[in-house]
């Protein structure tokens, strides 16, 4: 493995490389492993290639069978994956959502939007009495 800068190699191992290797070895097919991982075949092949580069050895033959080094590494990869799964903290059960209707606070009252008027008309010239619920004053009622 090229550990220098610009080599394009990862510094550490990735679990998806191990998963790709194990499924490819089990099914002796990059296509089947890709289908099971919901990935493109080229990605699965690349993952196995990265793992081989990291280990500095071939794990699979061109016929997609295990090499002697692949045979030796396979149980180790299974154990690594098992240990990682066991070490992972379980995800908590999702909480059930209860839907409640949120009402506005009592002190918030809807008010009409400000009236936009022509520049020659002032807001005082517009009758806004229809927005109020107040009873008419006696002086206003007596005019009938």
Instruction: Give me the percent of the chain exceeding a pLDDT of 90.
Output: 49
The size of the chain, in residues, is 144
**pLDDT-wise least confident of 48-52, 85-89, 139-143:** 139-143
- Indicate whether 95 pLDDT > 80: no
**Residue 61 or residue 92, greater confidence:** 61
> What does the pLDDT look like over 41-82, one tens digit per residue?
999 999 999 999 999 999 999 999 999 999 999 999 999 999
| Domain spanning 16-87, CATH class | mainly alpha
**pLDDT-wise least confident of 16-20, 22-26, 29-33, 123-127:** 123-127
Q: Model-level pTM greater than 0.95?
A: no
């Amino acid at each position: 493995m090229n550990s220098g800068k610009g080599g394009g190699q990862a510094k550490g191992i990735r679990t998806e490389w191990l998963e790709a290797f194990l499924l490819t070895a089990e099914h002796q097919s990059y296509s089947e492993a890709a289908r099971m991982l919901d990935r493109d075949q080229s990605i699965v092949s690349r993952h196995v290639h990265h793992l081989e580069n990291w280990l500095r050895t071939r794990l699979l033959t061109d016929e997609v069978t295990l090499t002697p080094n692949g045979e030796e590494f396979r149980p180790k990869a299974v154990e690594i994956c098992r240990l990682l799964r066991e070490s992972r903290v379980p995800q908590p059960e999702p909480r059930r959502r209860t839907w409640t209707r949120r009402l506005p606070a009592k002190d918030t009252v809807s008010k009409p939007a400000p009236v936009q008027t022509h520049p020659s008309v002032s807001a005082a010239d517009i009758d806004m009495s229809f927005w109020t619920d107040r009873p008419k004053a006696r002086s206003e009622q007596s005019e009938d």
